[in-house]
Structure 1
């Protein structure tokens, strides 16, 4: 059955634009196929407590950890999982309502390399680089949440995720999405966040971050992934459990086949999560990328990747779960025309699809490298997309009949009161140059990437995020100190 793609005015974005990739019938077909996989093929789960939870709930277990999921467990989990998840900022204010077709954008995590905007070299990340990058995110109006951005080359490998979180939470008031090696790391991150917001119960009531964890495709759940999922459920931390498959390698090469497997893996994680703590917040999503068979490289931003994201978002709507996906990422090695084309397509389509929380803004080189120039340009692209999502108002004031009558044939609207009242409502850029050639030349003939570099410097020179208190800083340092001592970390 072929898909019916709809683009137009509808309820998904109020009076604005929306885009559907799957019909209701197709979503149902994918759901039933995923249930068949879970019933007939099952999952290998390397976590004793999770296997026992499933066994007691009615799943069939073979060879100790091969678990077959009856469909009633999936139905039960979908009934208890909340359709709305809210993330709060460091001030305790609701910052992101993950529901319906609300869209939010943020950075990615753990890139190996940093494209230094000042020296233009490609090098490994340092703690100071990540701190500066998070400070920039704190200032950008269209970056709604942060991730860790870069792997710290000047931290002990056993401490990287803890150190990353300490940097994030002290350099922005915005919500975070975190990565953790295991359950113990996540527990320390929870402790740090609790210090910031005023205790664990306050953190449960107003979560400051969500955890990103995933299965190992095809059809396996590692011990560490499930451990994090259970710790998060127990503590009320919002969880994303998303297939990170590569189409043609670890998931089927067809978009529909990849959706079936990714959906099965996500649903199996949801069942475990809800068995541990019914009603715990869960975000449905994926991390799938097509495989370029010429280079054997997983790639971002291709038409198939966009279609996969659209299908996953439509499945989230079908299940009435918050959705997770990508935006602002690319395969380019520098911030060039390819980078802008790929990242912009992903950003615009994710917005039109109504994906609730989109990460990896600023990713280059298949996620190996991060570019702050791309981050700032994407911030502007997101602003454009958000304006388009609003659509067209057709109330009496917007229709401007009285203004048209006043101006009449042959007049102009420059001096009319309607123009004075409304012209500031038009979207305006911060980086794009709307000057003519002569004025652009007089201003230095700078490209958009060069203007982005200037803006990076200006933000770092002028913007200071709201600091945490000295007491909170000392508590975070103490948590890090205890972890270093526990694991024998040297840095």
Structure 2
């Protein structure tokens, strides 16, 4: 497997080598302020959970095929996409495209079942697909919230804070994308500041912009500055999260961005957002069939743009309150639906992004953690490889919460141990410990305990496990209050991972020149 260090031919990389730094310098910044260094991603050691039999899966696939063939999907404002579909053998009638049964599955045969996303620090490279599980922060909130200042519009400072928190967490693997919208930066320029912030303040994998084709291309160009043009053409270094305009519409903004990522051999994460009863049927099976049709079309379009380009089969099922019409998150029906989506993605042999830590609560409270845990468990049991929205999601994704970010990252830590399963070997069976301790005595001081106590159990950084009296004397703090103290401590202790001076200068120059070429736009 290639590492980022093969890009020595790039001019910026040559200057990096001349000035020192490089891999050794980057590695020197690992783990600062962390209790210990977790793996760059999880390799699951427990099986996925299949809820439907073969016959039922075939019924859903057959309905998806009929939706594609009889109803079709509109592709708006992208003549090139329509041309690609026509060349591939689809029936194109204006903006409406209908697909012969089996066509999309055949096209998807060229998509890789798994791939590596390379990080600025090669030690943080991740695998997406197979048995791998990657946790990434929540994405897309216009507001941020904390216990001190309440709910407010996000800023570039908030955006950078969340990157620093993700970088500092031993339980998250990915820097994410638009963690919150920095509304204090013009709409047409903020993607430049966001991508630069990911590259500057984290050395983990990250996501780029998808809000316009030019912004996607500029995100990719910034990645080329860091990794080298030839390396990027051969390897995935950046993801773009594109959404279907459900029901059954792909708009040009998304397909132009999707094709830009595929054209550059970078991974598009293809995600329908189906709110049951609004953008799809209220019944789970119907919504799943719709999601399958929409996602297959997007993933296949990436293959038509560049055969073999990495792509992630995404899904976002949600429910709604039929009394009020409000969206609901972390509810049981989408959670069990995610299990079925996982089965369908495996039948297509594609990497999966599904579910996350969803909640409609407005506070980091019991509702938030109940809903988030139900949704997050569905993500790990359905076989999701890339779990966006793993930390911080609050208020139906309208708010990014500092406290919930820390609480959710703590849950991710627990899931590291959960997904590791049960090790069965001579050490874990502990027969020598039974011989030493004997009958009716405790194991606290035995040799086996002393040899294993540091790694035996996951240890929360937020939970209070002290006796009632100690908790009472210490101020009776709840989990949210402890998380408030924790995120402040993490930011105070954060140290930026080293970045080569020449690369930093090249990035800043690119951002400044690109911004100078356009007037500010605020909508």
Given the two structures, how large is their TM-score scaled by the length of structure 1? 0.92
Q: Does 1:489 align with 2:520?
A: yes
Q: Which residue of 2 aligns with 1:292?
A: 321
Question: Distance between the aligned counterparts of 2:279 and 2:428, measured in 1?
Answer: 51
- Structure 1 runs (4+) deviating above 4 angstroms are 12-15
Q: Which residue of 1 aligns with 2:296?
A: 267
Q: Does 1:81 align with 2:136?
A: no
Question: Distance between the aligned counterparts of 1:129 and 1:218, measured in 2?
Answer: 33
Q: Does 1:444 align with 2:471?
A: no
CA shift for structure 1 position 263 = 0.7
Q: Which residue of 2 aligns with 1:418?
A: 448
CA shift for structure 1 position 14 = 6.1
Choose from 209, 218, 221 the match for 2:238: 209
CA shift for structure 1 position 278 = 1.0
The 5 Å alignment of 1:20-39 reads 20-39=50-69
CA shift for structure 1 position 364 = 0.8
Q: Does 1:473 align with 2:504?
A: yes
Q: Which residue of 1 aligns with 2:226?
A: 196
Question: Distance between the aligned counterparts of 1:147 and 1:218, measured in 2?
Answer: 25
Question: Distance between the aligned counterparts of 2:419 and 2:139, measured in 1?
Answer: 27
Choose from 124, 139, 156 the match for 1:127: 156
The 5 Å alignment of 1:210-225 reads 210-225=239-254
Q: Which residue of 1 aligns with 2:36?
A: none
395-404 or 375-384, which deviates more? 395-404
Question: Distance between the aligned counterparts of 1:52 and 1:373, measured in 2?
Answer: 48
Q: Which residue of 2 aligns with 1:43?
A: 73
Please give the per-residue CA displacement for 1:295-349, whole angstroms capped at 9, x wherever unaligned: 2122211001212222212211111110012322210111111111111221222
Given the two structures, how large is their TM-score scaled by the length of structure 2? 0.87
Native 8 Å contact 2:356 2:372 kept in 1: yes
Question: Distance between the aligned counterparts of 1:384 and 1:186, measured in 2?
Answer: 35
Is the alpha carbon distance of 1:446 and 1:112 closer, same or farther for their aligned partners in structure 2, counting shifts above 3 Å? same
Question: Distance between the aligned counterparts of 1:368 and 1:15, measured in 2?
Answer: 34
Q: Does 1:98 align with 2:128?
A: yes
Gaps of at least 5 residues in structure 2 are 1-41
Q: Which residue of 2 aligns with 1:7?
A: none
Q: Which residue of 1 aligns with 2:381?
A: 352
Q: Does 1:61 align with 2:108?
A: no
Native 8 Å contact 1:111 1:151 kept in 2: yes
The 5 Å alignment of 1:24-423 reads 24-46=54-76, 47-62=78-93, 64-93=94-123, 95-117=125-147, 119-145=148-174, 146-197=176-227, 199-360=228-389, 361-423=391-453
Question: Distance between the aligned counterparts of 2:149 and 2:368, measured in 1?
Answer: 16
CA shift for structure 1 position 13 = 7.6
Native 8 Å contact 1:112 1:150 kept in 2: yes
Please give the per-residue CA displacement for 1:434-491, whole angstroms capped at 9, x wherever unaligned: 1111222333322111111111111111111214333223322333233323331279
The 5 Å alignment of 1:448-467 reads 448-467=479-498
CA shift for structure 1 position 274 = 0.8
Secondary structure at the counterpart of residue 388 of structure 2: strand
Native 8 Å contact 1:156 1:489 kept in 2: yes
Please give the per-residue CA displacement for 1:22-43, whole angstroms capped at 9, x wherever unaligned: 3333222222221121111111
Secondary structure at the counterpart of residue 125 of structure 2: strand
CA shift for structure 1 position 147 = 2.2
Gaps of at least 5 residues in structure 1 are 1-11
Please give the per-residue CA displacement for 1:160-200, whole angstroms capped at 9, x wherever unaligned: 22322222221111111333211110010011111122x12
CA shift for structure 1 position 94 = 5.3
Alignment coverage as a number of residue pairs = 477
Question: Distance between the aligned counterparts of 1:410 and 1:116, measured in 2?
Answer: 49
CA shift for structure 1 position 144 = 1.4
Please give the per-residue CA displacement for 1:251-310, whole angstroms capped at 9, x wherever unaligned: 111111001111101111122111111111010011221122222122211001212222
